[in-house]
Amino acid sequence: MFFNSWAFALFLPIVFILYWFVFNKTKTAQNALLIVASYYFYSCWDWRFLFLLVFSTFLDYYTGIRIEKSTSEKSRKFWFWLSISVNLGFLGVFKYYNFFAGSFAEMMSAVGFKSSPFLLNVVLPVGISFYTFHGLSYVIDIYYKRIKAEYNFVDYSLFVSYFPLLVAGPIERATHLLPELKEKRSFNYEQAKAGIYQFIWGLIKKVVIADGCATYANAIFDHHESMNSLSLVLGAVYFAFQIYGDFSGYSDMALGMSKLFGLELLRNFNYPYFSRDIAEFWRRWHISLSSWFRDYLYIPLGGSRGGTWLKVRNTFIIFLVSGFWHGANWTYVLWGGINAVYFLPLLFSSSNRNHMDTAKLGWRWESIRVFGSMLLTFALSCLAWIFFRAPSISDAFGYIERMIVNQKWASQYLENERYNYEFVALVGLFVLVEWYNRTKQEPFSGRYSWLKISLGIITLLALGTYSDYKEFIYFQF
Amino acid sequence: MKKFTTKIITLLGLAVFLAVLLDLAYTTIFVYGFNRTKVDAVFHGKKEQYDVVMLGSSRANNHFVPSLFEEKGLKTFNYGMSGGHLFEADLMLKLMLERKYQIKTVLLEADLNLSNDQRAEGIASKFLPYLHSSKVIQQQFQNEADYNYLYYIPFYRYIEYDAQIGFREVYKKIKEEKTNQFNNQGYYPLGVKPNASMKNNISKLKPLQNHYYESIKRLCNQHNIRLITVMTPMCANTIGMEYFEKVQKLYPEIYNYENAVTDDNYFSSCGHLNDAGAKLFTARILKDFF
């Protein structure tokens, strides 16, 4: 059941009505309803993986309490490492086992040993990377005594399995979401209205921008060997907006529907394509994951303390791990590595925290530099996205090589009977809408909201891609 | 909560209102707009007179060459639609008759498409803008499972088939962008594809007592139209050729021309003749029936 499906269009209002009209008496009733709804939602993919989710929930709940109750350091460590190893073990088996087994066999074959690895024939449980990271952060925070263990199983279960963020985040922190879940929520009109607007905006990003761009990006990437330079450049740009529209659209829908239930989730995207350098980009893109790696990997490794080489090492570690988190393929690892390389000049010049505010443009010379730096950052991220999107590293290099060598900058008719440039105007319009609303979470609120929402609905109806359905990209992670 | 309920109801009302407006706008553009497809042309046509009308799937569209008929003085048009099933061929004929077309002969390709009694979504959708403007189109869709959605929910059909009749198509209609559908009197010649696979496996296909073929026969009978139904050539390396014999048993009136062209050099792919093959095949049809 996807957020942009008819089934969900029925599911969400039913849960909303039950939540505010039937189960509204106590916090426990509200949470219990949301757990049932979340488990039903998750079982719509594959009910068998529900056991994995319940087990993972129970494991972290129990080990969290045991860590807190342990009187000896040895015991604390035991429960801590038990939780970490089982969580990462699940992730390793389901997500990475085949990759490591296959890579090992390839490596052996390269040195002359033939082997046929034993591969698992299992489907990756949807959302495993997200709920595992929920659990991990919870247990780590308890171990380092940043938070108290949660003794209410209902509240903790909801923290892990809350349906808007269950399958593709944002990756919530116990310090943020659990306190909200421990209070009875009261209906707030302004919050709910903002939620509806954000949900509609997320839907537009997904159905109009992401799925529209996907139509062109897929046609270009899948036939890159016959594309000209212009098509290949446009292909990378389309993919950049596809993945942005897809994932930030999902996040907006998750945040929006949570507001309907009186809950505020962590913001996951903050107009990343208006970043002036890569460091700013990573403070604005998939914020919940970037900050997770910062807090649970980068800082424990020493962070920015220590010498230059330690900083470089730590930067590479978090970007490579972040790449690998996305999927078991060397293309993701290389994508992470490229971003680490982009980061180095900022690190060496200690300018990685130069742009902490929101970019502004005006009629002054400074704006040319700001605009240029935004374009450069966008171009660099597009180049990296090629590795993210390509099926293999050699395909990615082939794509870039042809983009440089071909040097034909004409319109091209694609395999799907569309011209390569057709979607550029809509992408440009989307960028303008985002630019003028970059201080808000959605563009509908404020003056002329009825006019803006009407235009939004017309856009959704007339320009959405419905017949060629595309799944959310981040569901596979 | 009352305020929010009012807000939601207003938003839903607004969405319905905008859907109605968009539906009206799109439908108006289709009904009064530029012809880009064969369906548009037939919908907008009136009292056209044809000696021969060709119907069927791509194996009609790419196999019957109207210019050879025209050389013999027969006014001909190929209304075959690539990807179409007999549902669409039947509907096309019904639409022609509704538009008072006068047709002497229908040359129908019915072979592999006899194994399918369903509509071809991509092709059938091209009739949907006219759902409220043509009785026969409405009747044809009436038995479809999604008829109520298509007919009663404003703009639903344009959303469901956005790739075929959505914004891009409307925009191209407004721009009056031409298609190649009307070149060569509807015939689409295929070229030689050097690397095309000359293999096919049709062993899983079973010819059906096809509802839409029966309907075409009935219509031709009622309107005194001569119906010539033929099976068209397949490449030699096809597994399951007995399918054509099964069709012959089921419908003895269908002429089996599967073997009319056998040399793979005349094929663009296993199921489709190239231009030279199509001309050879059409010449044979002409010789045998006209």
Question: Which residues of B fall within a CB distance of 8 Å from A192?
Answer: 4
pLDDT of A329 above 90: no
The residue type at B212? Y
Among chain B residues, CA nearest to A416: B163
Contact yes or no for A154/A31 (Cβ under 8 A): yes
Omega into A170 within 30° of 0, i.e. cis?
yes
Residue-wise burial string across A6-40, b where 16 or more C-beta atoms lie within 10 A, e elsewhere:
eebeebbeebbebbbeebbeeeebbbebbbebbbe
- Residues A24-62 have pLDDT tens digits of 999 999 999 999 999 999 999 888 889 999 999 999 999
Give CA B201 to chain center in angstroms: 24
Which of B7, B11, B18 shows the shortest C-beta gap to A461?
Answer: B18
Name the β-bridge partners of B239.
B201
- Per-residue confidence (pLDDT) for residue A474, from 0 to 100: 64
Residue B139: Cβ within 10 Å count: 12
Higher pLDDT, A99 or A370: A370
- Per-residue confidence (pLDDT) for residue A88, from 0 to 100: 92
* Spatial separation of the C-alpha atoms in residues A159 and A258, rounded to whole Å: 13
% of residues, chain B, pLDDT over 90: 85
Cα dihedral A214, A220, A224, A226, rounded to 10, equals: 160
- Per-residue confidence (pLDDT) for residue A154, from 0 to 100: 95
* Spatial separation of the C-alpha atoms in residues B210 and A199, rounded to whole Å: 47
The residue type at A302? G
Which of B7, B15, B168 shows the shortest C-beta gap to A457?
Answer: B15
* Spatial separation of the C-alpha atoms in residues B122 and B83, rounded to whole Å: 8
- Per-residue confidence (pLDDT) for residue A471, from 0 to 100: 67
Closest CA to B10 of A372, A239, A454, A133: A454
A193/B7 touch (CB, cutoff 8 Å), yes or no: yes
Residues belonging to chain A with any Cβ–Cβ distance to chain B shorter than 8 Å: 20, 187, 189, 192-193, 196, 418, 422, 450, 453-454, 457-458, 461-468
pLDDT of A385 above 90: yes
- Residues A283-320 have pLDDT tens digits of 999 999 999 999 999 999 988 787 888 989 999 999 99
Location of structure tokens 């460590």: A77
Active site residues of A: 326
pLDDT of A95 above 90: no
pLDDT classification of A245: cutoffs 50, 70, 90: very high
pLDDT of A325 above 80: yes
Question: Per the structure block, which two tokens stand in for B122?
Answer: 């991509």
pLDDT classification of A470: cutoffs 50, 70, 90: low
* Spatial separation of the C-alpha atoms in residues A185 and A88, rounded to whole Å: 34
SS3 B53: strand
A465 Cα to chain B: minimum distance (Å): 7
- Per-residue confidence (pLDDT) for residue A477, from 0 to 100: 60
A91 Cα to chain B: minimum distance (Å): 38
- Cβ-Cβ contacts under 8 Å for A12 (sequence gap 6 or more): A257, A260
Among chain B residues, CA nearest to A212: B163
Among chain B residues, CA nearest to A417: B163
- Per-residue confidence (pLDDT) for residue A357, from 0 to 100: 87
Question: Which residues of A fall within a CB distance of 8 Å from B7?
Answer: 189, 193, 196
Among chain B residues, CA nearest to A207: B159
% of residues, chain A, pLDDT over 90: 75
- Residues A186-230 have pLDDT tens digits of 999 999 999 999 999 999 999 999 999 999 999 999 999 999 999
Question: Which residues of A fall within a CB distance of 8 Å from B2?
Answer: none
A466/B159 touch (CB, cutoff 8 Å), yes or no: yes
Half-sphere exposure of A413 toward its Cβ, with a 13 Å CA cutoff? 1
Looking only at the bridges linking them, the beta strands covering B272-273 and B267-269 are antiparallel
Residue A358: Cβ within 10 Å count: 12
pLDDT of A114 above 80: no
* Spatial separation of the C-alpha atoms in residues B146 and B157, rounded to whole Å: 10
The rounded radius of gyration (Å) of the Cα atoms in chain A is 23
B14/A453 touch (CB, cutoff 8 Å), yes or no: yes
pTM value is 0.90
Question: Cα dist. A69→A63, A79, A85, B201 in Å?
Answer: 10, 10, 20, 68
**Domains in chain B and their CATH numbers?**
46-150+184-289 (3.40.50.1110)
Closest CA to A233 of A212, A248, A216, A208: A216
Mutate to test the interface with B, among A449, A453, A461, A470 (most CBs of B within 10 A): A461
List, for chain B, all residue ranges whose pLDDT scores fall below the cut of 50: none
Question: Which residues of A fall within a CB distance of 8 Å from B19?
Answer: 461
Question: Per the structure block, which two tokens stand in for A97?
Answer: 């086992």
Which of B1, B161, B162 shows the shortest C-beta gap to A187?
Answer: B1
Across the range A237-253, mean pLDDT stands at 96
Residue-wise burial string across A202-215, b where 16 or more C-beta atoms lie within 10 A, e elsewhere:
bbbbbbbbbbbbbb
Which of B7, B18, B161 shows the shortest C-beta gap to A467?
Answer: B161
Task: Tell me the count of A-B CB pairs closer than 8 A.
Answer: 50
Among chain B residues, CA nearest to A187: B1
Mutate to test the interface with A, among B3, B9, B18 (most CBs of A within 10 A): B18
pLDDT of A472 above 70: no
Question: Given CB atoms, is B145 within the 8 Å cutoff of chain A?
Answer: no
Question: Which residues of B fall within a CB distance of 8 Å from A20?
Answer: 1
3-state helix, strand, coil in chain A (%, to 5): 70, 0, 30
* Spatial separation of the C-alpha atoms in residues B265 and B106, rounded to whole Å: 29
A454/B18 touch (CB, cutoff 8 Å), yes or no: yes
Across the range A95-110, mean pLDDT stands at 77
Among chain B residues, CA nearest to A188: B1
The least confident of A97-106, A166-175, A186-195, B163-172 is A97-106
- Per-residue confidence (pLDDT) for residue A247, from 0 to 100: 93
Across the range A447-475, mean pLDDT stands at 86
* Spatial separation of the C-alpha atoms in residues A269 and A252, rounded to whole Å: 9
B4/A189 touch (CB, cutoff 8 Å), yes or no: yes
Location of structure tokens 């553009």: B29
A467/B1 touch (CB, cutoff 8 Å), yes or no: no
pLDDT of A120 above 80: no
pLDDT of A162 above 70: yes
A458/B166 touch (CB, cutoff 8 Å), yes or no: no
Q: Where are the alpha helices (H) located in B153-263, listed in sequence order?
A: 156-160, 162-165, 167-175, 211-222, 242-250
* Spatial separation of the C-alpha atoms in residues B116 and B85, rounded to whole Å: 7
Across the range A455-463, mean pLDDT stands at 96
How high is the ipTM of this complex? 0.87
